[in-house]
Structure 1
Amino acid sequence: MFRSLVRLQGALGNTLSLTTVCPRSQFVLKYSTATAERKKFYQDVSISQAENGLYEVNLDRRKLKTPGGKLFTVPNEALAIAVATEWDTQRDTLKFYTMHLTTLCNTALDNPTQRNKDQMINAALKFLETDTVCYRVDEPDGLVDLQKNEWDPVLHWIEKRYNVTIGSSSSILGPEIPEATKDTFRQHLNSYNFWSLTGLEYVITQLKSVVLSLGIIDRHLNVEQAVLLSRLEEEYQIRCWGNVEWAHDYDMYELRARAAAGTLFVHLTSESSTVKRKLMQD
């Protein structure tokens, strides 16, 4: 049923994380640890459209619920299928930490911290004041040149794209971001709906960068490029001194997974998208 969407998930490297568990008896997810696993308790996954136009995910035809006990509903068919794919591709053991889209939906539905859009935007803008690509080093020369060559083009792109001034600095205080720049980004972020803003904030917190996150969302960068740019100093150190076997690759792939899932979530929730019925067939 979800074969077509599996290809989409595969393109993200099986990237899709969840921090919840779901007892068979009531299908209400309970908060747990990020490494939680449970024995698979269902056979079939499907989606259905409710009378209000929202889409639901069903496990053995019983409705999925959020950790807060709300009915799990999403705004469009494409997102519903993507979430259902996360559940459908689980094997004997449910790896909730691989189900990022489900987690993001739960966050948007339950809003556990009870924040409004203004609070979310203010939190996101704080990363602009400490943006990864804005902090530069004075030495060694190799890293100085690498930051200039790799970060400056992205910084110039976003300044031109949004008609703002950001700049960079080697001071521990970072660059002084003009209020006009903050106002421009605040207005832009306010154009996103609550769901999309949830995904965008997630990407920003993963990359520690508003610049790189908007680069992905605006399709100026792909996920792999943005992750490498966010880890530029670490990659430089690894090149010089080597890395801990497996640890480096695992961290990088995890970051790619989260950034990819967050980006997909933004795109699926910021557009009125409907998947053709033929994708549901076979």
Structure 2
Amino acid sequence: MSKAPTGFDADFFVPANERDPVKAARDPARPLPKRFYKQAVAAPAEGGYGIFLDGRPVNTPARRPLVAPSLPLAEAIAAEWAGQGETIDPATMPLTKLMNTALDGVAAQMHEVEAEVAKYAGSDLICYRAGEPESLAAAQAAAWDPLVAFARDRLGARLALAEGVMFVAQPQAALDAIARALRDYVGEGAGASLRLAALSVMTTLTGSAIIALATALRAIDVDAAWAAANVDEDWQMRAWGADAEAMARRAARFAEFEAAATLARHSTPQ
């Protein structure tokens, strides 16, 4: 993004804990940069589809071209830029931030990130059930039993279930099957780092590699996946009421999950 006005830099799209600490100490409360463009569009570029601000291509914080492998994905990213007001607020641009993470970070450490995602299968959310109250146990079964069946029938992984929080070791055959499914989905070439980044975010947000894979493979839609990840929280809210601050945090997490699902579903080259 050359010729951007003074005050804007790509560091705004880097998580706060990964920013240059010297720079952060020098200016810990920087104002949001002003919008410096009128139009944001997606258009063909080398390697796929780029995002252009008044004709200038968008780059990642590491100055790599921000290029999507499919037009729908590029259009979704461009929509985030087009939707900005007088200032540019990265908090409202989860897809842009995730693309930056994939291209600048995940692409350089594919094996490590893949291993971290696979590790979640060893203690997956959907395997740990409440014995009581009966209403919570029923809600978990309704949301999670279809996902256990998905793991068995689609991934070839027969998962062991447990009651309570006592750890249960998963059969190695199941873990191997999930690892293979993860590897097969991520694949190679253009879009691989994007698909892996999407899986990583969805897995971390839900605590479930199975929910993430089911979403990526379109076995479950985004709303159903998010509901499955929040069965316990929803049950507690029905029992005790919702807290406004907690709901705001949840809405922010859902925006990240939705962005990751978008990335997962549109990261195959057209």
Question: Runs of 5+ in structure 2 lacking a partner?
Answer: 17-28, 187-191
- Specify the alignment match of 2:263 in structure 1: 265
**Which letter does structure 2 place at the counterpart of 1:76?**
S
Paired amino acid for 1:177: Q
Contact 2:202 2:257 in 1 (8 A): yes
TM-aligned CA deviation for residue 28 of structure 1: 5.0
Aligned residue for 2:123? Answer: 130
Secondary structure of the 2:162 match is coil
2:173 corresponds to 1:180? yes
The residue aligned with 2:10 is 29
Q: Matches of residues 77-226 of structure 1 in structure 2 within 5 Å?
A: 77-111=71-105, 114-116=108-110, 118-191=111-184, 192=186, 193-226=192-225
Aligned-pair CA distance for 1:96: 1.0
For these two proteins, the number of residue pairs brought into alignment is 248
Q: What are the superposed Cα offsets for residues 7-38 of structure 1, whole Å, 9 maximum, x if unpaired?
A: xxxxxxxxxxxxxxx95259751145569733
Aligned AA for 1:106? N
Determine if the alignment matches structure 1 residue 54 to structure 2 residue 48.
yes
Alignment pair present for 1:44 and 2:39: yes
2:78 counterpart letter in structure 1: A
% identity of equivalent residues: 26
Unaligned runs of at least 5 residues, structure 1: 1-21, 274-282
Over 3 Å counting, the alpha-carbon distance change for 1:226 and 1:210 in structure 2 is same
Query: Which residue identity is paired with 2:145?
Result: D
Shift of 1:164: 1.5
> Counterparts of 2:39 and 2:246 in 1: how far apart (Å)?
36
Counterpart of 2:62 in structure 1 is: 68
Partner SS state of residue 117, structure 2: helix
Equivalent position of 2:234 in the other structure: 235
Checking the alignment, whether the CA contact within 8 Å between 2:73 and 2:262 is kept in structure 1 is no
CA contact (8 A) 2:8 2:34 kept: no
Q: In structure 1, what residue type is equivalent to 2:269?
A: S
Task: Kindly state the Cα deviation for residue 196 of structure 1 after the two structures are TM-superposed.
Answer: 1.0
Deviation (angstroms), 1:40: 1.5
- The range that moved more, 52-61 or 120-129, is 52-61
Say which SS state the counterpart of residue 30 (structure 1) adopts. helix
- Amino acid across the alignment from 1:78: P
TM-score scaled by length of structure 2:
0.81
Amino acid at match of 2:199: L
Q: TM-score normalized by structure 1?
A: 0.78
Are the counterparts in 2 of residues 200 and 262 from structure 1 also a CA contact under 8 Å?
yes
Give the secondary-structure state (helix, strand or coil) at the position aligned to 2:85: coil
Higher RCO (C-alpha under 8 Å, 6+ residues apart): 1
